[in-house]
Structure 1
């Protein structure tokens, strides 16, 4: 009972914030995001805001010449802007007005893949407005099975489930979604997921910003097994650029798994990871530097042993 009351209170606060954001113009959301970022970055204790983790990740990825403190402050502003945009655009972005806010890059690659006779796996990362990157496909009638972790608060979970399903997407629980993912790919339907989380000791190590990063093999294995095309997509904010658009949505790389023969699991995994890195380099302040992408370290000889065992996994049969 106590947990349910806490969840209800959390949801009530959240819905109040949502109502306030809905009443705001976009410029007010930007100002509010700047203020919220200042409070978190300058006023809260750094151990709470994981400042050290973000600083270490930024130095490891971008080098010591970067102004780390400024980058972290801009990251916080971006995160608050993203939250506001998700709430705001849900009601205001449509097929009739999207061109006022969005410009596209390499859209023909993505559209051709989605209209082909093969399934597509849309891969993005914790960069830009990743919710918008998936949502816009639904606006144009391309339904995705969105693979994501369910939230602990059931009321918040239902809110975001409704948000994703508004445009025809299905939410697949990251824990235990293997069968549903396989069923979708076998019927030439599409999937969307994030591809930049640490995969722990069972992951495949590929280079991300020049450092070995444990990465899930499942994306490559599913794509190879089911002839899926992989579209590495993104939605980044166009801060400070000329023109009316607020976002650029694009396909950074389209990976045809049928054209890869040499060590295909590693090659595919490295290809989409490198594409995600290129996206982050274009807008590093829009990356979620707080998560520990390089948390797991490779053991000596791990690359060879992982490669030898790849073919024994169930969906690679």
Structure 2
């Protein structure tokens, strides 16, 4: 019953938001964020703890400033999600480097001989990023974990939105076979590089100088099928404004290492380093509330 009530509440909110002026939507999102990440609350304490781990040299004042920037970013993210779900988002007009991004997408299409794995993360607005690629003629398959808290919202709102412009969505658990078929057809697949995946499917890496775990699936795909491994980001530059970053494909395959597990670790570390480098550029846009450094269950 509770899940149904939550689902209909979200549907009602989305219906009403179709007619709300943007300033009202942003104001409501800010109120929600202030309440959810209230000073001294559990979520803010977790974010501060993670920021302190990543940036031990920053002062308490600097960390508080980052938390405030993070709140600002979250309010914009929530508002943009409502705008996207209600067909009010301008996917091309929101890009400050539109021509450059489109040219790079076209170049990737010409380079694509073995399939492409897009290395994505919970940075900037990753949902906008996926739809931008689809709108510009590069729909693909998104590997995503089904929402366990409320499957009704996931199945009837989130997944249809992700599929609106041609994307397919596959459940993260057991996705390797589907990904293999996709790459053999020289198509694209988006995989997150910043989730805490414990062994045996995850492997230990260093993230901001601390032990963390990341999925080794991307390294396995690189060694078996040698697809293009392309990091992409939608970096927020203002209200409903983004710069699309499409890095050069990462060709590293750890040829200097013989042991299989160590080879996978080295490749996964390479991808993790790309994410860390981007986070260091504009730290407030990553999802610091995630338990990225959590120990796996068997430790």
- Determine if the TM-score, normalized by the shorter chain, exceeds 0.5: yes
Aligned counterparts, 1:11-90, within 5 A = 11-42=7-38, 46-47=41-42, 50-66=43-59, 67-90=62-85
Equivalent pairs counted in the alignment come to: 284
Q: 2:176, 2:217 within 8 Å by CA — same for their partners in 1? A: no
TM-score, normalised relative to structure 2? 0.85
Mapped to 2, the partners of 1:9 and 1:83 lie a distance apart of: 20
Q: 1:208, 1:277 within 8 Å by CA — same for their partners in 2? A: yes
Aligned counterparts, 1:103-182, within 5 A = 103-104=97-98, 108-115=103-110, 116-152=112-148, 153-158=150-155, 159-182=157-180
Mapped to 1, the partners of 2:129 and 2:292 lie a distance apart of: 21
Measured on the aligned residues, the alpha-carbon RMSD in Å equals 2.5
Mapped to 2, the partners of 1:122 and 1:145 lie a distance apart of: 10
Deviation sequence 1:53-102 (CA, Å, 0-9, x none): 211110111224243233223323322321220220341345xx613544
Deviation sequence 1:263-316 (CA, Å, 0-9, x none): 35334312221111122122211111111211238x9xxxxxxxxxxxxxxxxx
2:93 to 95, 99, 109: 99
Q: Secondary structure at the match of 2:270?
A: helix
Which structure 1 residue ranges, 5 or more long, are not aligned? Answer: 300-317
Q: 1:197, 1:215 within 8 Å by CA — same for their partners in 2? A: yes
Mapped to 2, the partners of 1:246 and 1:21 lie a distance apart of: 20
Q: Which moved more, 1:61-70 or 1:273-282?
A: 61-70
Change (3 A) 1:288 1:265: same
Q: Secondary structure at the match of 1:230?
A: strand
Aligned counterparts, 1:233-252, within 5 A = 233-239=232-238, 246-252=241-247
Q: Which moved more, 1:63-72 or 1:164-173?
A: 63-72
Mapped to 1, the partners of 2:105 and 2:269 lie a distance apart of: 20
Mapped to 1, the partners of 2:96 and 2:11 lie a distance apart of: 27
Report the Cα offset of residue 30 of structure 1: 2.9
TM-score, normalised relative to structure 1? 0.80
Q: 1:59, 1:68 within 8 Å by CA — same for their partners in 2? A: yes
Change (3 A) 1:253 1:273: farther
Mapped to 2, the partners of 1:72 and 1:212 lie a distance apart of: 23
Report the Cα offset of residue 189 of structure 1: 1.6
Change (3 A) 1:80 1:19: farther
Change (3 A) 1:55 1:148: same
Mapped to 1, the partners of 2:269 and 2:291 lie a distance apart of: 18
Mapped to 1, the partners of 2:78 and 2:197 lie a distance apart of: 26
Report the Cα offset of residue 169 of structure 1: 0.4
Mapped to 2, the partners of 1:175 and 1:135 lie a distance apart of: 23
Q: Secondary structure at the match of 2:287?
A: coil
Q: 1:107, 1:251 within 8 Å by CA — same for their partners in 2? A: no
Which structure 2 residue ranges, 5 or more long, are not aligned? Answer: 258-262
Report the Cα offset of residue 35 of structure 1: 2.5
